[in-house]
Structure 1
Amino acid sequence: MEKWQNQTEKQMLEQIRSSIGKVQLPVDSYNEQIMNRIEHMEIKGGSKLLKKTLAAACVAVMIGLGTVTAGFISPVWADTLSQFPVFSSIFKHTENPGLKLAAEKGLTTSTNMSVTKDGVTLSVTEVFYDGTRLAIGFERAGIMDERVLAEITDFKTHDFDQSTKGLLGLPVVTQVSGEPISFGSSSTGDVQGQPQTFLLELNELRNTAALGDEFKVDISVPVAQIAEPFEFQVTVKKVTEGVINLTPGQGASKGSFKYTVKSLDITPATLRLIVTSEGEVPASPDQTGEYAPTAVFYELVDDAGNVINPRNGGYVLAKAVQHPIVDSLYNTFPQIPKTVTVRPYTFTLDSELNLLTDANGENVKTYHKELETTIVIP
């Protein structure tokens, strides 16, 4: 099994020097100027430039010298730049506010691990784990195609489109023992505004107590037209600062319907609510006849009036579906709340199983005031 190789700064510098030397710049002396600038650049605290910034620095230096302008980058130079992963924070640019906040607070772990096969380089740039979800950032280099993820042709077998070299299939994450990482839902997608990158999230993680606060995972990523997958072994460290784990055991009832908040976990980047319930889904007078309620969803409101809804707030195209256990992730509140009020609600389906919408095209929510419960955050 081919594992990642951790290049030294000197090796990375020599690799960049070699590539720059092959590029035809308009002024021959620029090659030496670029390397001199890179070799003397420093970051705060006086430490030498870290290897993860060398490629980006190379580009920045060229811009500073005025050699990179619109329409001036040669195809050779563009191809050279594509060989180097930039290692910027993918999480800072994601649309997920929780991950973005975690990156800004320095709660993510940089890995900067790379594997190169047949001209394609794949890197694991950073990891975030807070006990509720595991997020992993990836960056590809060596391929100019703007597409990163291949079309999955069979989600059961994970088969994917192999027609274009360098397109990536679905990553597989396991414990080093080979046991899978158990989760409720997952998502994989490109990061908007960050070319050649993608983000994997494993949500509603289960059996996390057995994993501990630090553990290793094996990551395997298949790549189109390359025989062997790209493999990494990454150390995952749990964020523990600012984490609140509650087991309120409180709830409310209406008619035969009863729910209990089994747990409420608040982290700097995620909020997770697990609810158990029983009985028939409550219905309002407007949800009778040709109309009927959906399953019950749970909106959360803090003491400042901030409202958040589940990230995985999909609905089943069936009436009054009862889910004995609901495990939902939410984006975090702006700050740790003093109280969190749980507001159960349903949507409304018509006889053709279409969701009822208002004049603005928004799905109509039916709240059940008597089912609300407020949890005090210690």
Structure 2
Amino acid sequence: MQQTNLKLTFLKRVLLTTSAFAIIGTGAAIPKNISPIAAATSDAKSAQAASSNLSLTQDGVTLKLSDVFYDGTRLSFSIEREGKNLPEGVMSPYVPVDPKASVNLKKHMVSEKDQKKGYIKTPEILINGNKLKSSHSMFGDKVSQKNAVEAEYNQLGSLPDEFELTVQVEVTRISKPFELKVPVKKDSNVVSVKPNKTKKSGPFSYTVKQLDITSYTTRLVLNSEGEVPASSKQTGKYAPSMMYYDIVDDKGKTLQQRKVGFSNSKPRTKYHIDELYNAIGSRPKFVTIKPYTFTVNPTNWSIIGQGKGADGKFKNGDKTYIKELEMTIPVPAQ
């Protein structure tokens, strides 16, 4: 796989997050959805494949596959790079040469012979020899470790509980791709709840189809229908955004959503939501789903109150929670 990302380092926060991966395959450095990557917990590390620290050396460059993790909803791994006289960055900043590309892209195009040796390109991922299908995939420099990158693949469809992971990755100025293989086993600490429970307010309703709790992530799947309710502040010249959903555990802690997207357009009346949040930690007795909206300006659908505050920190805009739409979901004990 060739990569077309521009400056593939962690991006500055766009909405509701503090850091992000560049999205694989988009060819752009400004993603619609952003996902901060949390450090692996000890539980997650214990679920990693035992032989995940696989390394291969070619032409003075060593790549090592590590931190492999799969919990049924998320597949992730790191690639560490070693060698002498390597460039400071790890991910390749180069765009493949294409005479039909735009002027902005052409500024980043460098022929292979003129590229610096040692940059890592976007990998190709195989599961039991077949190309991985993922509707949301990210790849970026690892913030917590120098000379390393990490990848995350979500919304994976149906994968077996055990499989062979093959990571094929090209390195600039090295002719043969690196191929790293490792057996992977699904994290067994997974709780899946399918409540099929509905809450309604006026013409709007949502139904929680599935809640997956693992040692590394929390997944929420739901369908919504109808026009979202508007608060008193969201009438006249303002309007509500689409509906978003917080997850709060039984101790009152709100889980951080791993990606939150916002499109500057009128909300649709039907949504299928399949989103990941940070891990809960110890298994809760219940979680509460708290739907909310932002207040937007319908002339351009921008979020009111979003931007840099007087303290220099970025403000995301205020959440408007809809109390009558809150839903409590019991979590079964082991």
Match of 1:261 in 2: 208
Give the letter aligned to residue 176 of structure 1. Answer: N
Match of 1:175 in 2: 127
Match of 1:134 in 2: 75
Match of 2:46 in 1: 106
Note if contact 2:54-2:65 (Cα within 8 Å) is conserved in structure 1. yes
Counterpart among 190, 196, 216 of residue 249 in structure 1: 196
**2:61 aligned with 1:120, yes or no?**
yes
User: In the aligned structure 1, how far is the partner of 2:169 from the partner of 2:236?
Assistant: 51
Secondary structure of 1:370's match? helix
Query: C-alpha offsets along residues 308-336 of structure 1, whole Å, 9 cap, x if unaligned?
Result: 14211121111223452100000012321
Using the TM superposition, give the Cα deviation of residue 193 of structure 1 relative to its aligned residue in structure 2, in angstroms: 4.0
Higher relative contact order structure (alpha carbons within 8 Å, sequence separation ≥ 6):
2
What TM-score, normalized to structure 2?
A: 0.76
Which structure has the bigger radius of gyration?
A: 1
Residue 263 to residue 291, structure 1, CA distance change in 2 (3 Å): same
Query: C-alpha offsets along residues 170-210 of structure 1, whole Å, 9 cap, x if unaligned?
Result: 111122342x3222312212222421111111122211xxx
Secondary structure of 2:133's match? coil
Match of 1:371 in 2: 325
Using the TM superposition, give the Cα deviation of residue 280 of structure 1 relative to its aligned residue in structure 2, in angstroms: 1.8
Residue 245 to residue 142, structure 1, CA distance change in 2 (3 Å): same
User: In the aligned structure 1, how far is the partner of 2:79 from the partner of 2:283?
Assistant: 30
Match of 2:6 in 1: none
Give the letter aligned to residue 273 of structure 2. Answer: V
Counterpart among 84, 89, 98 of residue 147 in structure 1: 89
User: In the aligned structure 2, how far is the partner of 1:238 from the partner of 1:275?
Assistant: 24
Secondary structure of 1:153's match? coil
Unaligned runs of 5+ in 1: 1-94
Q: Please give the root-mean-square deviation of Cα atoms over the aligned residues, in Å.
A: 2.4
In terms of fraction of residues, the more helix-rich structure is: 1
User: In the aligned structure 2, how far is the partner of 1:123 from the partner of 1:282?
Assistant: 51
Residue 275 to residue 98, structure 1, CA distance change in 2 (3 Å): farther
Residue 184 to residue 283, structure 1, CA distance change in 2 (3 Å): farther
Residue 152 to residue 337, structure 1, CA distance change in 2 (3 Å): farther
Using the TM superposition, give the Cα deviation of residue 285 of structure 1 relative to its aligned residue in structure 2, in angstroms: 2.4
Residue 252 to residue 160, structure 1, CA distance change in 2 (3 Å): farther
Give the letter aligned to residue 302 of structure 2. Answer: N
Secondary structure of 1:337's match? coil
Residue 160 to residue 191, structure 1, CA distance change in 2 (3 Å): farther
Using the TM superposition, give the Cα deviation of residue 160 of structure 1 relative to its aligned residue in structure 2, in angstroms: 7.8
Match of 2:162 in 1: 214
Unaligned runs of 5+ in 2: 1-35, 102-107
Using the TM superposition, give the Cα deviation of residue 374 of structure 1 relative to its aligned residue in structure 2, in angstroms: 0.4
In terms of fraction of residues, the more strand-rich structure is: 2
Residue 346 to residue 377, structure 1, CA distance change in 2 (3 Å): same
Matches within 5 A, 1:153-192: 153=95, 162=112, 163-178=115-130, 180-192=131-143
**2:229 aligned with 1:289, yes or no?**
no
Counterpart among 276, 301, 304 of residue 353 in structure 1: 301
Note if contact 2:47-2:186 (Cα within 8 Å) is conserved in structure 1. no
Give the letter aligned to residue 273 of structure 1. Answer: L
Percent sequence identity over matched residues?
39
User: In the aligned structure 2, how far is the partner of 1:332 from the partner of 1:152?
Assistant: 35
Using the TM superposition, give the Cα deviation of residue 377 of structure 1 relative to its aligned residue in structure 2, in angstroms: 0.7
Count the aligned residue pairs. Answer: 276
